[in-house]
Amino acid sequence: MSREPEVISAGEKTEKEGRVIKTRIMKAVGKMPDDREVMELSADIIKNGGLVAIPTETVYGLAGNALDPKASGKIYKAKGRPSDNPLIVHIADIKDLKVLSPDIPENAYKLAEKFWPGPLTMILNKSEIVPKATTGGLDTVAVRMPSNEIAREFIRACGGFIAAPSANTSGRPSCTTALHVKEDLDGRIELIIDGGDVGIGLESTIIDLTGAVPCLLRPGYISLEELISVVKNVDVDPVIAGKESRMPPKAPGMKYRHYAPRGELTIISGEREKVISYINEKTARAKKDGIKAAVLACSENRACYDSALVYDAGSIYNEEEIAHNLFSVLRRFDEEGVQLIYSEEFNTPNIGMAIMNRLIKAAGNKIIKV
Ligand code: AMP
Ligand code: MG
């Protein structure tokens, strides 16, 4: 069964070299033969060095051929991403892992067995075939096998090796819907595959397996405890552990301000009552001064705030809901033109480390203890 491609968007922008890119949006459902047409078009674009945004279970990714340095160059350009911030290579079949790395440690297979396909990225030594343009100049490569069916179908259709960083412009919150991708990349890429709202909403957990002891470089949906249950001993990069460190983070991307709304975001930390009264004081003052201020809170506390603009991230007892909503709420502050944002902390039991890692980066480390 073949369908007319659904072209919702036809954004046009003139690139420096004068080329015009039309960005199409096509829906996919994650099964053949319904997706045949979108997969054939995708394969065509990717094999010709172009870019396609795809849904994954974490966030939307901006995909290009991982083995083509020119395609990687285009990804950096479309995102405005610093060229020392390496891309994650996505595969659809475990047998393809050995193409990317010459010396895969036993731990990689153990972790893959438990968490792949899924939201875990592993850092391995890279093989010759992986261009340094994809790894930001490093001799290591980040690899993930997503569980999203559309993503895996896409990777297979496009030859098996797809570089795909998050599909936002650099610095902005990651995209959890096709519409977010359109906001950021319309006119810069050939196609957006709309697979609906993503499931998890936070980027993958990253673990480095190139050292003597595995090291957590970025917290994500798969928690430190889950990793330890498989590989016993896991170090945590001091930068994400919140420790002062003169060393740069091992995941180069973690040194950049990220996920940030345009308004100034501050996290308020402390006992519930004190946090609420501090934020109420601040938003009242902002109102007097004619500044548009908003609050990011859990649903349980929502009614405690006087501000007209209170955004609910979800129930504090439902951390999956908070993770899922975080980036789209950060984007909504921009839509409303909010200038000042005060956020509660979301120290939930399992993915709280990942949620707070993103929120603290979005706040540029601004935390006030009350
Ligand atoms: P994104 O694709 O936007 O989720 O960002 C990918 C993250 O993976 C960035 O923080 C990168 O710095 C990190 N990363 C990718 N490749 C490597 C690598 N070879 N070594 C360490 N970190 C990496
Ligand atoms: Mg990103």
CATH number of the CATH domain containing 331: 3.40.50.11030
Q: What is the pLDDT of residues 115-148, one digit of tens each?
A: 999 999 999 999 999 999 999 999 999 999 999 9
Of the listed ligands, the closest to the CA of 175 is 2
Q: How many whole angstroms from 207 Cα to the centroid of ligand 1?
A: 10
Within a domain: residue 239? no
Q: For residue 266, give Cα distances in angstroms to 203, 260, 261, 338, 344.
A: 22, 11, 11, 13, 9
Looking at residue 326, what is its pLDDT? 96
Residue 216 domain flag: no
Tokens of residue 166, six digits:
């998050």
Residue 233 falls within a domain, yes or no?
no
Contacts of residue 55, Cβ cutoff 8 Å, sequence gap at least 6: 28, 61, 148, 150, 151, 178, 193, 194, 195, 196, 198
**Does some domain include residue 219?**
no
- Which residue range forms the structural domain that includes residue 66? 10-202
> From CA 292, how far away is CA 294, in angstroms rounded?
7
Q: Are residues 54 and 185 in the same domain?
A: yes
Mean pLDDT across the stretch 147-171?
Answer: 96
Q: Domain total for the chain?
A: 2
Which pLDDT band holds residue 242 (cuts at 50, 70, 90)? Answer: low
Say whether pLDDT at 105 is over 80. Answer: yes
Average pLDDT over residues 175-183: 96
Query: For residue 240, what pLDDT band results from cuts at 50, 70 and 90?
Result: confident
- The reply to whether 169 and 28 lie within a common domain is yes
Residues 43 and 189 in one domain: yes
What's the pLDDT at 84? 87
Question: Of 202, 237, 252, which residue sits at a domain end?
Answer: 202
114 and 15 housed in the same domain: yes
Q: Give the torsion sign (CA, 290, 293, 299, 304).
A: negative
Whether 175 and 276 map to the same domain: the answer is: no
Q: What is the pLDDT of residue 249?
A: 66
Asked whether the beta carbons of 83 and 136 are under 8 A apart, the reply is yes
Number of helices (H), then strands (E), belonging to the chain: the values are 10, 17
Asked, for residue 248, whether it belongs to a domain, the answer is no
Same domain, 275 and 162: no
Give the mean model confidence (pLDDT) for residues 55-83. Answer: 96
166 close to ligand 1 (CB < 6 Angstrom): yes
The answer to whether the CB of 207 falls within 8 A of the CB of 121 is yes
From 59, 85, 208, the mutation candidate for ligand 1 (largest count of ligand atoms within 8 A of CB) is: 85
Contact of 309 with 294, CB cutoff 8 Å: yes
Residue with CA at minimum distance from ligand 1 atom 20 = 251
Q: Give pLDDT tens digits for 9-19.
A: 333 344 444 45
> What's the confidence (pLDDT) of residue 281?
97
CA distances to 46, 190, 255, 290 from 82, rounded to whole Å, are 22, 22, 11, 36
Average pLDDT over residues 268-290: 97
Q: Is the pLDDT of residue 6 over 70?
A: no
Do both 93 and 181 map to the same domain? yes
Last residue of some domain: 183, 202, 221?
Answer: 202
Identify the band that residue 241 occupies on the pLDDT scale cut at 50, 70 and 90: low
* Residue where one domain finishes, among candidates 202, 218, 250: 202
In whole angstroms, give the CA distance from residue 112 to residue 117: 7
Alpha-carbon span 128 to 126, nearest angstrom: 7
- Are 193 and 281 in a shared domain? no
CA of 252 to the centre of ligand 1 (A): 6
What local confidence, expressed as pLDDT, does residue 243 receive? 59
Q: Please tell me the residue having the least CA distance from ligand 1 atom 2.
A: 165
| 314 within some domain | yes
Supply the pTM of this predicted model: 0.91
